[in-house]
Amino acid sequence: MKRDLHVTDFQRRVYEAAKRIPRGKVTTYKLLAAAIGCGSSRAVGQALRRNPFAPAVPCHRVIRTDLTLGGFSGKVRGANIVRKKKLLEEEGIRFSGGRLADAGQVHRFGR
């Protein structure tokens, strides 16, 4: 990860954990927060919103705990969400009725 950008230690931890989400898998903001020892999935979402390292840090692979898409690039609807869904579909992630179709595609850290 480049060191010349202003990234906080917290953001760096979020980005390093996000890089461990394999292609074809997603995780939730809550699971990512737990993986770095943070109790706030919202804080993780805010760090991902500011991700300057995409696509090397695949923030599009993080979804809501209810297995819906959640946000992308600070937006929860519109072109950004269409783009997030397309990126995930290109990796084999499908949604049905607005929710992740296969819960087996959820990446759980440390397993």
For 89, the token pair is: 């579909």
User: What angle in degrees, to the nearest 10, is found between the helix axes of 9-18 and 41-49?
Assistant: 90
Active site residue 59: yes
Query: Active site residue: 34, 59, 62, 93, which one?
Result: 59
- Active-site amino acid positions: 59
